[in-house]
Structure 1
Amino acid sequence: MDKKYKLLLVEDDTSLGYLLSEYLGMKGFMVTWAKNAQDGLVKTETNVFDLAILDVMLPDMDGFELSQKIKTINPELPFLFLTARSLKIDVLKGFSLGAVDYLKKPIDEEELVVRINALLTRLVTDPEEEPQVSIYKIGDYDLNTDNFELRFKGEPIKLTGKEFDLLTLLAMNQNQLVTHKEILTTIWDKNDYFNKKSLNVFVSHLRKHLAKDSKISIVNVNRRGFMLRVEEK
């Protein structure tokens, strides 16, 4: 059974707080919602969380100060900021205080979930979890995520970093749709027109690398995303 991650959401906007709590709950997270900084501190003292999501503009204390107080209670708790501020200096301040991510409002709920999952996969380890797959079978190819290598019947094929990351994401979801948004926010950290054009170029490169096995194709699914399709022998 998949672990249910516990999130602390500190957001004073009632409408947004309710929306995010409900949406994240639907996505399988256990969400504790605090409506001000002081309540967030109390909940940090009385609960164990995997990630804190902090609004920067809070009525009683800004999110930057709150993050430092939380660190005195639980130094290991990772946090990300939500903010309507767009100034670069605010973004840099957030990261300098130890934030693992920084999302600007209005929040795209789907993008938030993708980012949370990516962060927790990277940051949270469970000693009882099964070891993650390190070699993905893609037809006659082997993709090894331990040594960042793609091989065809034992013959190594050189990939760039982005090509490797993209192929790994597709291989993890073999024969399933991976949306443009999920790919772009996971690998490029930004879902925009220019990165989407780059994505198409990298997909073309991967198609060439995988052309030695006719059972493999990377399918463009109705302009929604891509699927790594591997036909049965």
Structure 2
Amino acid sequence: MENEKLHVLLAEDDRNLGNILKSYLEAKNYETTLCVNGHEALQAYAKSSYDICLIDVMMPVMDGFSLAKEIRTDNKQIPILFLTAKSLQEDKIKGFELGADDYITKPFAMDELLARMRAVLRRSMKETSQAEEISVFELGNYIFDVTRQTLTFENDVQKLTSKETELLKLFCENMNQILDRKIALLKIWGDDSYFNARSMDVYIAKLRKFLKNDPTVQLVNVHGTGFKLVTNI
């Protein structure tokens, strides 16, 4: 792990502290993306791949708890470590309830932060070291092959476009869980503009059409939140 260049998402609204942390982590061979508010961090998260998130709790636009909740909706495994001036017990409990892996209170020593990062990364890598990315999903009586970009029902093979494949794969990775609409837009289209939102609705309608032969597989709307790919109804 020490020789690999891991990617850190650092969300810290104090630019001076953020730049100091970024310089320190890069000196320790961690590629680091610095964002100064939660919204900027969420956009950066959706557009790239990260190994760990360091999140300040008190940030403008979107606070650290809200950011962590959005990230956890999309990814249950990525390590999240909160950086905060708050030391209240209820804030720590809220952080852990949102899925934080650790919590460090400011001011902190750089070597303590690094030690905590390495500890949560070791735990995360141990859990995922044997896992391989799934390329074939079973959806009721359908077989979805990501590599071949096909959706097969009995002897009927439906060829999918790249965008259809990306979107269905994202739903499969969050099967029977709510997929936040904004997360899906950012990950597949790069932003959550009105035009892209309408485009995604068209693709979802097409996926529903492709999946209509098996009533145990449903792509449902979750009002005000997003969508859920439900199987075994």
CA contact 2:9–2:32 (8 Å) conserved in 1: yes
Partners of 1:172 and 1:219 in 2: CA distance? 15
Q: 1:52 to 1:228 in 2, by over 3 A?
A: same
Amino acid at match of 2:213: K
TM-score relative to the length of structure 1 = 0.56
Cα distance, 1:172 vs structure 2: 1.0
Q: 1:186 to 1:8 in 2, by over 3 A?
A: closer
Instruction: Please give the residue correspondences for 1:38-77 in structure 2 after superposition, counting only pairs within 5 Å.
Output: 40=23, 43-45=25-27, 47-49=28-30, 51-54=31-34
CA contact 2:176–2:230 (8 Å) conserved in 1: yes
CA contact 1:10–1:34 (8 Å) conserved in 2: no
Partner of 1:86: none
CA contact 1:6–1:48 (8 Å) conserved in 2: no
TM-score relative to the length of structure 2 = 0.56
**Structure 1 gaps, min length 5:** 19-32, 55-81, 84-104
Q: 1:221 to 1:106 in 2, by over 3 A?
A: closer
Instruction: Give the percent of matched residue pairs that are identical in Structure 1 and Structure 2.
Output: 26
Instruction: Please give the residue correspondences for 1:20-169 in structure 2 after superposition, counting only pairs within 5 Å.
Output: 33-35=18-20, 40=23, 43-45=25-27, 47-49=28-30, 51-54=31-34, 107-117=39-49, 128-169=129-170
Partners of 1:165 and 1:225 in 2: CA distance? 17
Partner of 2:89: none
Partners of 2:176 and 2:194 in 1: CA distance? 26
CA contact 2:216–2:232 (8 Å) conserved in 1: yes
User: What secondary structure does 1:35 align onto?
Assistant: helix
Q: 1:113 to 1:135 in 2, by over 3 A?
A: same
Partners of 2:163 and 2:177 in 1: CA distance? 20
CA contact 2:9–2:45 (8 Å) conserved in 1: no
Partners of 1:145 and 1:119 in 2: CA distance? 23
Q: 1:43 to 1:201 in 2, by over 3 A?
A: closer
Aligned length in residues: 155
User: What secondary structure does 2:8 align onto?
Assistant: strand
Cα distance, 1:8 vs structure 2: 6.9
